[in-house]
Amino acid sequence: MKDVTILVGTCDYYQATWSAFCHGINKYWIDRPWPIKATTNYLDFPCGEGLKIGDDINWTKTVKLSLQKIDSPVVFWMLDDNWLTDFPDTVILEQFAQYIIDGKTDYIRLVNTKTVKSAGQTSFDDRLFIFSDDSKYRTSVCLSIWNRLVFIDLLKDVESAWDFEKFGPKRSRNYKFCCASSWNCEYMPHVEQHCTLKRGEDKKWSWSPVHKGWWTESAKEYAMREGLSINFLQHPKDRG
């Protein structure tokens, strides 16, 4: 499907996360159907194209400039610390992306949490429900599939990622937003939604590999399990 681009939200400052991210992509997403691009400043990205936006201005400007450099109508949004732990369900992800191409929805959030309020299931897929207008985190920057132009429209200059999650939901009410109803890791398993239980059951959650610029225990566990060498004595926030 050439109508979708994977966009990795990152910057040169967080290049310490890239090797593990690309390890997970190369090991687990063998049938990945879409190209990868990343919101780098000046550096190449090891498993895709670095968009080389230039100096950091703010999060919103970086993401907007990156989206404007992409031609595909749909963006599969990931973060640099979404380290895969298992094989994604590519067939389902392609189906979800097609819904956006077909205009059935403008956004599908792939991570379901207790903060999400539902207005009922969609009419076209019982694996998805519609966000209620007053739901928090309608515009979450976690794993999601976006109509690229809608993403651009909702980004307001000078906002941080946290501001976008806080103020973006109100702006998004004119668009059709959905969320995956599954509480397991069926679609896109990664460290942030680390699965310890069988499909269909609730799961235990762990911190993402990086939290507020610091390595977490999840990162160390991942590196040990995957046989990766990462310098955990220097946190991403300490890197220039």
Multiple choice CATH, 4-238, 3.90.550, 1.10.287, 3.40.720, 1.10.357: 3.90.550
List the chain domain ranges: 4-238
Q: What is the per-residue pLDDT for 188?
A: 67
* pLDDT at position 200: 39
Give the residue, 114 or 228, on which the prediction is more confident: 228
DSSP code of residue 193? G
Q: How far apart are CA 182 and CA 126, in angstroms?
A: 10
pLDDT tens figures, 139-177: 888 889 999 999 999 999 889 998 998 888 889 888 999
For 194-238, the pLDDT digits (tens) are: 544 334 334 444 458 888 889 998 899 899 999 999 999 888 887
What pLDDT does 63 receive?
96
**Half-sphere exposure of 141 toward its Cβ, with a 13 Å CA cutoff?**
22
Mean of pLDDT values over 92-103: 96
- CA triple 55-13-62, angle to 5 deg: 40
Report the distance separating Cα 220 and Cα 215, nearest Å.
8
CA-CA distances (angstroms) from residue 7 to 130, 141, 151, 195? 24, 12, 12, 24
* 122 three-class SS: coil
- Residues composing the chain: 240
Most confident of 52-56, 100-104, 202-206: 100-104
- pLDDT over 80 at 105, yes or no: yes
